[in-house]
Structure 1
């Protein structure tokens, strides 16, 4: 059988895209090399825009019932010298939820929508016709034909590489170490980013008395992690003042980051989520981008299937919509990265934000996709920052 759509990857981007297509009546197959539930290295925060995307998908009540923790804002600390708090507006919240749980719930939702899900199957290559159009995948020792292939297979996407759309090797040479801990009191729905030197650690509640701790390791110190990432992670808990934290599971690692795609479409194929381009999102932007990208992708794919035209030209509306939706956010991510990785800049900004709370609220609302990044250019906010 030739599937209408074959989705590679069962994370939020893949599951949401597949569920939306199946709900519209298309025959959809989803493949993932892992068995679910499975842990995933991630900060495990869904920003407020991501929460609304879960609502539109029809799974928010299920996620809330699973024990997700509310997230009302972030505290940013620059060493021991300055810190500020940025809050989301009243009635607007993000969520902290383990990816092991979130991804399994989204995959179950895709199954319920009519998606055929096959896990434990690795996609090794793309199938192409005589005109070099993608016509399916090679996976698990068989060839599986499809009218369109959706690459939702994450940071090191096989589909992205087989399409030849990776723009360049990553330049943001750093690692992230992630684990769950118990014993951190006083978070009270507020995530924390603590910076020291060129490294930082992010902390957020994820429900059930657990918090996610993500330690960001500068590229120059990556060798210190090799061979004993658990030991490095535990040492960083002490260094960043998290002495009361007791790690409850293994330390996962990911990185380096910064994988830009030249474009998000090709003849017979489309990229969504991290596979469509990645640059170190903060405060839950990664999951929001996956869910919002799935909405955009499903609309374009449905139109292309109905028109019986899955060429790159027919899929370009998705590419353009993707750029419009996320380009400003990516620019903001680069600015935030520039401050977080430069201690003097972050201390200066934290000092300004401490004296002017509206600035902290504005930056957290922009990074949380509650307000567009361009809202930071309002004359009043700029004046508070520079004067």
Structure 2
């Protein structure tokens, strides 16, 4: 598989870069490179992924804006808003107007006191839910339109980096030579196999597995609880965003593709992720993925009613364990990105954002390498550190979430900690994008590549990193049986209340709160706080972030 064949005759003209894989990361990178006159070939086997594909665009949408502006590829910006995707790409796109987390107990109707809905600022455009078959295909066409060669339905039979080039052998008997190879193909990466890079076992703490498909006929949550409508009255209708149904040992994500004008008829993404230690795949060996899913939802009356008439629109994807990792992600004339570099957990599609962030830091180095004819490993060392750091941070987040699922108060405490991070964490990237757009300089983006705690939801901040780490340790103690969940939740809530960088305007001091909103009053109180007592490392970040939001990015 990994030997060079001197008698091969079907060899295409040498390329600058060959990219393996046809997903978002591969196609976005190909589009950027081709738009900047790099000779690129994409090899897309066309096989469906064996692991859950990120479909929440909460972080990915912003990365598309940055890639479009930084690399002068305006087509990518069309994937950053629901409106543009709907008008220019596909109608199968959902709108994330709110994030809802609803706790369920076996054998009981859902208790409306055990839920949380988080709403972005009023008037903020919703982030998209990506229907991946349409989005991936569109991006590959975009790369092709920009000049990339795209080979579809061809398998890679060998990938061999050498001192002067890389040789890729294909199942049709042809082969490709390139100055550099980017493998974004997924867990069955031929390069990982050839170089023996797979970690066994994976270093990650999280242990989960997932059953997922797209369905129609899923009843709206509001309809299921209509007999108690007053108790479920919320700032935003439940169907206006994602819903994560939480229970001890599992979460069920439901992402609508039909919650906007002129939608596709009733399509939703459904993903059930289970603790693989408590619910190992071998214990359900006699059941199909759909049978296991049906047996799960039948344990919870509200979920059973919601999925009673639901129908899968295609086959189910089922994993035995989601987590896998590699020992390194860059080497002589090669780089691993996206799912080829590792996978943690599908929670809120963090992996998709990580993949596009990696594309962002890799693309500029590849453009420089092509220009300078210098593809030394050292040139890409930061990409390896960046990718592995992001995956490790995602593992910390996912492990904390899974450990908290044993108790509704504990999971709410964890969600509050994450909400602090998400509210602050987007400001540095938003500010860097604003600087790029107004001045043309990417200096702020380059600076973000080396901040401490990269990959965390609020990178670069010592106080938040301490809060996040302590929360993770508290949840781990619960999972180990060393601390009861209620005491753990009280400890975490107390830490949030006492954190000097968490403003009262966030209203995160009430464990019974069911709805978190950012209103104009919230922004005004934040602005006043920046001049009346906000820590010196937070105040300028908030002021710049608010200005950027008010200017529309």
Q: TM-score band (shorter)?
A: 0.7 to 0.9
> Which of 180, 184, 201 pairs up with 2:214?
180
**2:515 corresponds to:** none
Higher relative contact order (CA 8 A, sep 6+): 1
Q: Secondary structure at the match of 2:280?
A: helix
Matched, 1:362 2:420: yes
**1:110 corresponds to:** 143
Q: Which runs of 5+ in 2 are unaligned?
A: 1-12, 69-75, 106-110, 223-237, 259-263, 431-456, 468-494, 499-507, 512-553
**2:101 corresponds to:** 76
Change in CA separation of 1:191 and 1:366 when aligned onto 2, cut-off 3 Å: farther
Matched, 1:88 2:120: yes
Query: Where do residues 52-71 of structure 1 align in structure 2 (5 Å cutoff)?
Result: 52-55=62-65, 56=68, 57-60=76-79, 63-65=85-87, 66-67=90-91, 68-71=93-96
Change in CA separation of 1:294 and 1:377 when aligned onto 2, cut-off 3 Å: closer
> Which of 33, 46, 61 pairs up with 1:51?
61
Change in CA separation of 1:44 and 1:126 when aligned onto 2, cut-off 3 Å: closer
Any idea what the Cα deviations from partners look like across 1:5-42, whole Å, max 9, x if unmatched?
0000010111011111111101110001116xx68753
Any idea what the Cα deviations from partners look like across 1:314-336, whole Å, max 9, x if unmatched?
22243345457x36xx4254234
**2:480 corresponds to:** none
**1:263 corresponds to:** 328
Query: Within 2, Cα distance between the matches of 1:197 and 1:105?
Result: 38
Query: Within 2, Cα distance between the matches of 1:59 and 1:163?
Result: 37
Of 218-227 and 286-295, the range deviating more from structure 2: 218-227
**1:381 corresponds to:** 496
Q: Secondary structure at the match of 1:166?
A: coil
Change in CA separation of 1:266 and 1:317 when aligned onto 2, cut-off 3 Å: same
Q: Secondary structure at the match of 1:280?
A: coil
Any idea what the Cα deviations from partners look like across 1:145-170, whole Å, max 9, x if unmatched?
11101010123322233233333333
Query: Within 1, Cα distance between the matches of 2:255 and 2:187?
Result: 22
Matched, 1:223 2:252: no
Any idea what the Cα deviations from partners look like across 1:40-88, whole Å, max 9, x if unmatched?
7536533332112233333326533322111133222333462222333
Are the counterparts in 2 of residues 265 and 319 from structure 1 also a CA contact under 8 Å?
A: yes
Are the counterparts in 2 of residues 71 and 189 from structure 1 also a CA contact under 8 Å?
A: yes
Cα RMSD (Å): 3.1
**Matched positions, count:** 376
Matched, 1:7 2:14: no
Query: Where do residues 247-286 of structure 1 align in structure 2 (5 Å cutoff)?
Result: 247-249=311-313, 250-286=315-351
**1:212 corresponds to:** 269
Any idea what the Cα deviations from partners look like across 1:158-185, whole Å, max 9, x if unmatched?
2233233333333644321112222331
> Which of 369, 372, 377 pairs up with 2:458?
372
Q: Secondary structure at the match of 1:107?
A: helix
Query: Within 1, Cα distance between the matches of 2:118 and 2:422?
Result: 5
Change in CA separation of 1:47 and 1:382 when aligned onto 2, cut-off 3 Å: farther
Q: Secondary structure at the match of 1:102?
A: helix
Could you say which structure has the larger radius of gyration?
2
Any idea what the Cα deviations from partners look like across 1:94-135, whole Å, max 9, x if unmatched?
221221111111111111111111111111221243x5x761
Matched, 1:20 2:68: no
Query: Within 1, Cα distance between the matches of 2:218 and 2:424?
Result: 30
- Using the size of structure 1 for normalisation, the TM-score is 0.85
